[in-house]
Amino acid sequence: MSQPVIAAVILAILIPLWIRLRRDFVSGLCYAVVVLVAASHFLQIRTPGILPELTIHRLVFLSIAVAWVFQRDRDPIRSTPLAGWIMAWAGLAFVSLLGTEDSVAGTKRFIEFVFELFLFYFILATTLRTREDGLRVLRAAVFGLFLVALMAAFEKYTAINLVDRYLGLDPDAPVVRDVRATYRHRILLGTGMAMGWPLAMALMRLAPARRQRWYAWIAAAAMLAACYYARSRGPWMGAVLAGGLIFCFGSRTLRRPLFVVGSLAALVLIARPGVWENIFGLASATVDTDSFKGGTFQYRLELWNVAWEGIKDSPWRILFGNGPASGLNQAISWELSYRDTDYTIWSWDNDFAYALFQYGFLGLFVTLAVYGSVAWRLWRESRRTEGIQRDLFICLCASALVLFFMMSNVTVFARQLHYLFWTITAVAWATRSVPAALPTEETLADDTPRMDLPPGIEGSTLRHPV
């Protein structure tokens, strides 16, 4: 597509958002979440020189941020959970930015992965005032991921990537065409799908009618299939970890679909032996340090040593690191301890090790504190509640667990996944406030929004996906 056509497409996406934000701010947030978790980074308007790109994500964020400023009925930021830790993280990232060698790249990364993401979280956390508001946004998130799963299935069986076809070939994509849908890497696609299927399970548990449960079933199945199509061990393991958490701590009603999923998976393995051979082959290669796959497993651990080597010679860098975006476009020569060979570090496949390299020990501590606080609060809430409410938080915990696990073995540079995570976090705070008498299975249909597909994203009665 030419730039004028792309600009027209972006405008066509933004106009409904502006209308929704004006009429019903939460409806606008639902629409925005669908776009933020589903749209491609390459849907953007190019800017000259060193100016930040006008991606669809940035334009959607700016739209809701401007509308949020004029919202009178919102909570103060200081009252939101995690406000102190997030402010500390942003402050340390800014201090680290002052010492970076590439101020342009560092500023862009600070804006993109610190300022915009944290303000997005504050926007959601200060405006989702009721349980129903939170569930509406959760449905929007699942719907957005469902769209991505459908595009992944289409790409799997047609070998056509819609982003490459209409927006231009991704220069960073490998020559061998992996299934990526709208994400920039197959691992990130698999991560999004592994995070999404527990959320679809939550909607299945909340659904008051068979039709809504079938919608959720289809969404969960599509995401698991897309996770498999991504052909990456990390997301597969993340999906299994999420399922294990749900199985161990969910109710019998929530566990029941897992038996169905397991039975269907067994049938697929019997009917298509190649699937089992594919999974078993990749798993075997993981534990073989002489194989390429096993080497990449060891490589992620090696990055901790690389990060320490990059900051140890300066007290400033030990505390505050090398600055945002440092090392991304820098070749680092390193001798791999598990192979005794020289190697060029070209990819930071460990987000936590990269946090140490970027922000130093203070930044790493605050990073772990923020994510650890989210994990602890979600888990604590799941243990305090019962029934449907407990199952909802178990599913939110399972989804967040996938991201935590994947951050230990990949750089999560897809903004879609960060928007999804902070959406889940804000939804958790909104849905923890429930009536004194929590709805039972019999009364759920009276006060729980239905899970209808669009146009159900809008309105105040019910709606549909992150």
CB within 8 A of 309, min separation 6: which ones? 334
Identify the helix (H) or strand (E) that includes residue 342: strand 341-345
Identify the helix (H) or strand (E) that includes residue 310: helix 292-311
Q: Return the half-sphere exposure (C-beta side, CA atoms, 13 A cut-off) of residue 374.
A: 25
Please calculate the CA angle 399-27-447 and round it to the nearest 5 degrees. Answer: 75
Looking at residue 285, its pLDDT comes to: 55
Condensed to tens digits (0 to 9), the pLDDT of residues 171-187 reads 666 555 689 999 999 99
Looking at residue 441, its pLDDT comes to: 45
**Most distant pair of Cα atoms in the chain: their distance:** 65
Looking at residue 446, its pLDDT comes to: 39
Q: Residue 293 above 90 pLDDT?
A: no
Query: Helices 233-249 and 186-206 meet at what angle, rounded to 10?
Result: 20
Distance separating alpha carbons of residues 149 and 224, to the nearest angstrom: 8
Looking at residue 444, its pLDDT comes to: 43
Q: In which band, very low, low, confident or very high, does the pLDDT at 464 lie, cut at 50, 70 and 90?
A: very low
Q: Residue 397 above 70 pLDDT?
A: yes
Looking at residue 208, its pLDDT comes to: 87
Q: What φ, ψ does residue 283 adopt, rounded to 5°?
A: -65, -40
**Could you tell me which of 22, 29, 25, 59 has the C-alpha nearest to residue 427?**
29
Torsion of CA 147, 151, 157, 159, to 10 degrees: 180
Tokens of 108: 């862009």
The pTM score is 0.88
Q: Residue 50 above 90 pLDDT?
A: no
Q: What φ, ψ does residue 390 adopt, rounded to 5°?
A: -65, -45
Q: In which band, very low, low, confident or very high, does the pLDDT at 94 lie, cut at 50, 70 and 90?
A: very high
Residue 317 and residue 310 in contact, taking contact as beta carbons nearer than 8 Å: yes
Residue 260 and residue 209 in contact, taking contact as beta carbons nearer than 8 Å: no
Looking at residue 430, its pLDDT comes to: 95
Condensed to tens digits (0 to 9), the pLDDT of residues 443-456 reads 443 343 344 444 44
CB within 8 A of 113, min separation 6: which ones? 324, 415, 418
Say which range, 19-28, 145-154, 291-300, has the weakest mean pLDDT. 291-300
User: Coil, strand or helix: which one is 54?
Assistant: strand
Cβ count near 411 (within 10 Å): 19
Say which range, 207-221, 260-274, 379-393, has the weakest mean pLDDT. 260-274
Instruction: Find the length of the chain.
Output: 466
Distance separating alpha carbons of residues 148 and 146, to the nearest angstrom: 5
Residue 13 and residue 35 in contact, taking contact as beta carbons nearer than 8 Å: yes
Cβ count near 428 (within 10 Å): 23
- Per-domain boundaries in the chain: 3-270+352-447
Looking at residue 295, its pLDDT comes to: 61
Please calculate the CA angle 326-35-69 and round it to the nearest 5 degrees. Answer: 80
Q: Which residue has the higher pLDDT, 294 or 305?
A: 305
Radius of gyration of the chain from its Cα atoms, rounded to whole angstroms: 22
Tokens of 416: 């879609």
Torsion of CA 244, 248, 254, 260, to 10 degrees: 50
DSSP state letter for 112: I
Distance separating alpha carbons of residues 21 and 418, to the nearest angstrom: 22
Q: Which residue has the higher pLDDT, 64 or 328?
A: 64
Share of the chain above pLDDT 90, in %: 68
Share of the chain above pLDDT 70, in %: 84
Which of 45-49, 169-173, 366-370 ranks highest by mean pLDDT?
Answer: 366-370
Say which residue the tokens 């002489």 belong to.
Answer: 290
Looking at residue 235, its pLDDT comes to: 94
Distance separating alpha carbons of residues 202 and 223, to the nearest angstrom: 14
Looking at residue 176, its pLDDT comes to: 54
DSSP state letter for 72: S
